[in-house]
Amino acid sequence: MIGALLVNYAKTVFTGVMPDAWLFALGAMFVLVTVFLPKGVAGLFRYLKRKQGDDHPPKEAAA
C-alpha cells in the first residue's frame, strides 16, 4: 500500500516536471526499486528499524 501511494505521487510529480519523459522516469524508478529494494518499502522500514538497535529477529512463519 505504501509503495502504491509513492508510485502515484511520483507519477504526479514526474508528469508535471517532465511531461514528455515521465514514463522513462517511472520506469527507472521501478528498475531501481526492484534492484535495491527487493522486499519493497516495508522491507526497507524493517531493515532501518533493525539497524537502529532493535535486534529482535523477525518472526518466521511456521512451515
Phi, psi of 4 (to 5 degrees): -65, -40
Categorize the per-residue pLDDT at 63 as very low, low, confident or very high, splitting at 50, 70 and 90: low
Cα angle, residue 52 at apex, residues 41 and 8 outer, rounded to 5°: 20
- Summarize the confidence of residues 22-37 as an average pLDDT: 86
More confident residue, 62 or 47: 47
Beta carbons of 53 and 60 less than 8 angstroms apart: no
Given this model, what pLDDT does residue 57 score? 61
Residue 17: HSE in the Cβ half-sphere, 13 Å Cα cutoff = 11
Compute the distance between CA of residue 13 and CA of residue 16 in angstroms, rounded to an integer.
Answer: 5
Is residue 47 helix, strand or coil? helix
Categorize the per-residue pLDDT at 30 as very low, low, confident or very high, splitting at 50, 70 and 90: confident
Average pLDDT value for the chain? 81
